[in-house]
Structure 1
Amino acid sequence: MSKAKAAMKPIRRSRLRLFAGKRYYTWARYWQWLTASGTRARSRSAEVLAYTAAAHATPLLRKLRNVDMQLQYNKITNLRLAAARLDGLLIRPGETFSYWQSIGKPTRRKGYLDGMVLFYGGFRTGTGGGLCQLSNLIYWMALHTPLTVTERHRHSYDVFPDEKRTQPFGSGATCAYNYLDLQLTNHTEHTYQLKLHLDDTHLHGEWRCDNEQLYQYEIYEAEHVISLEPWGGYIRSNRIRRRVLTRSGELAGDEAVAENHALMMYSPLLYPPAGTEEGAL
């Protein structure tokens, strides 16, 4: 992990450099979309597939330190618009799901509002802000299915403490139109369907399937470390793994899922990670 952690040292870049870099990666993605081989998942169905493969829900509102709650309310509007574009999407055998190709660019003309966007260890407002909650949900559920994650991006900064965290650190998928995408490929023999909806308090999601899954999956964290780097910052690292279980609960496999490294933007001595005892760092 040492090389990856060394690369986390903050580097100040000019606004011109940031602007040019974003444009480069944005147009590189457009070119990739134009030239990509393979079949993209495009079809949606109002008919719900018979079996639930995975389901999860996340709260719509969370009080965050120094964050205007109006941005949270705006996020709910953004989530409703994006979820409506994805609800009922089918991923047939051999097809690939692309988060941004399926949603499209979030713009004011489409009704998207200013929400919170994480930016180099802090946050700012941006049209369509808050859609990472949806990509996080889809990714987390996908880890509980045999769908293959072919593109996923981790957060480079750990901005908020672990208060009320229910999932392992680093188990989400950040997104930014269009160069930070979430893509899943269906290498199975069965069709999967994404179902999404919002109620008054939560964003709800399901991966459904036309057949019952042979295995169940348990996601867990391994090798969690918080290290003080020579340049003065704290780096938080871990690995996400999953146990593959038969229907009877027998262990059929134990797989590596992801490796995470993030620059902490708060003192780990003041906010110990969830499940970590004081003084254990």
Structure 2
Amino acid sequence: MKPVPRSKLRIKLGTAYYRSKRYTEWYFGRTNFAKEQSSTIYPHELARHQTPLLRRLKNVEMWLQFNKIKNLEIAIPKLDGIIIHPGETLSYWKRIGNPSRRKGYVEGMVLFYGGFKPGLGGGLCQLSNLIYWITLHTPLVVTERHRHSYDVFPDSNRSQPFGSGATCAYNYLDLRIYNPTTFPYQLKLYMTEEQLVGSWNSVIPQQFKYEVYEKEHKITQEYWGGYMRHNVLHRRVFNLHEELVDDQYITENHALMMYQPLLK
């Protein structure tokens, strides 16, 4: 798990290669992507969550977060109201498209090799994190999700288990959600003055309740001197009588810590 430094040329060539592979899969693959978008909201809210738009992070200038809000304002209309019919797959990046200056995107905070830097379209990971989290509380299936390779900031008022987000990078680090049920699901997204809000809605009420939790959380010191953080995510599934009917494995996380593990 020791980090491997990459040259700028290696990163550029690798990005071009993986993007081209994704474009090929988008246009010549057999995945049935979700396309329908509606302003009429489905009546039953199944899962809802919100996250603060602005956070005080060590050494992060606030203009990066204000720019993040601008980027979210552009991206959200591409996903708000999208419907996943049975057998369809929602692709985060296929819906949003390439975040370019021509579309109005500005530089926000982008995590990069254990640190952060200004980057065009920065901050859109907050949106993919939110969508991933609420999806874990529905029958929808996450078919592609990428974990963060670095644990950059210490826990501060954390309300979710470590590693419960989904990093994104256009277009090869995607978030994909498949509908295996017989009913359509609709994604609702919006911002208030302080919060990013998202929910999954459907035409029928929620049939189960979900509780996401972590197991086997640990911090290890590696032979090369750094620290790694690990855990496994599961979810408990309850029926409407609050009886436990299943305990499902979700994913595992391994991230290089960019701060001392004994930090207060």
CA deviation profile, 1:59-84 (whole Å, cap 9, x unmatched): 00001111110000000011111111
Which residue of structure 2 aligns with residue 237 of structure 1?
Answer: 230
C-alpha distance in 1 between matches for 2:155 and 2:253 = 16
Residues 1:59 and 2:84 aligned together? no
Counterpart for residue 115 of structure 2: 122
Instruction: Name the SS of the counterpart of 1:45 in structure 2.
Output: coil
Q: CA RMSD in A?
A: 0.7
Deviation sequence 1:130-151 (CA, Å, 0-9, x none): 0000000000000000001000
1:12 aligned residue: 5
Q: Report the equivalent of 1:180.
A: 173
2:160 aligns to what? Answer: 167
Does 2:72 correspond to 1:82?
Answer: no
Question: Is there any run of 5+ residues in structure 1 with no aligned partner, and where?
Answer: 1-7, 272-281
What letter is aligned with 1:75? K
- By how many angstroms is 1:32 displaced? 1.1
Counterparts of 1:174 and 1:201, CA distance in 2 = 22
C-alpha displacement of 1:16: 1.2
Using the TM superposition, give the Cα deviation of residue 38 of structure 1 relative to its aligned residue in structure 2, in angstroms. 2.9
1:191 aligns with 2:184: yes
Question: 1:253 maps to which residue?
Answer: 246
Q: Distance in 1 between matches of 2:174 and 2:37?
A: 20
Q: How far, CA to CA, are the matches of 1:38 and 1:100 in structure 2?
A: 14
Which whole-Å CA distance do the structure 2 matches of 1:35 and 1:250 have between them?
Answer: 44
- Aligned residue pairs total 264
Aligned to 2:149: 156
Q: Aligned partners of 2:137 and 2:42: how far apart in 1?
A: 17
The one-letter amino acid paired with 1:130 is G
TM-score by length of 2: 0.99
| Partner in structure 2 of residue 37 of structure 1 | 30
Measure, in 2, the Cα distance between the counterparts of 1:43 and 1:115: 29
Q: Spell out the pairing of 1:92-103 with structure 2 (5 A cutoff).
A: 92-103=85-96
Aligned equivalents of 2:9, 2:78: Cα separation in 1 = 34
Q: TM-score, normalised on structure 1?
A: 0.93
CA distance in 2, matches of 1:46, 1:121: 39
Tell me the residue number matched to 1:73. 66
Could you list the runs of 5+ residues in structure 2 that have no partner in the other structure?
A: none
What is the Cα deviation at residue 257 of structure 1?
Answer: 0.3
Given the alignment of the two structures, is residue 201 of structure 1 paired with residue 160 of structure 2, yes or no? no
- 1:195-231 CA deviation, whole Å, 9 max, x = no partner? 0000100000010011112111000010001000111
Paired AA for residue 45 in structure 1: S
Shift of 1:85: 1.0
For the residues of structure 2 that align with 1:133 and 1:38, how far apart are their CA atoms? 26
2:101 maps to a residue whose letter is: R
Q: CA deviation at 1:9?
A: 0.4
- Cα separation, 1, equivalents of 2:132 and 2:181: 17
Aligned counterpart for 2:132 among listed residues 112, 135, 139: 139
* Distance in 1 between residues matched to 2:15 and 2:87, nearest whole Å: 31
1:220 aligns with 2:213: yes
Q: Stretches of 4+ moved more than 6 A in 1? A: none
Letter of the 1:168 partner, please give it.
Answer: P
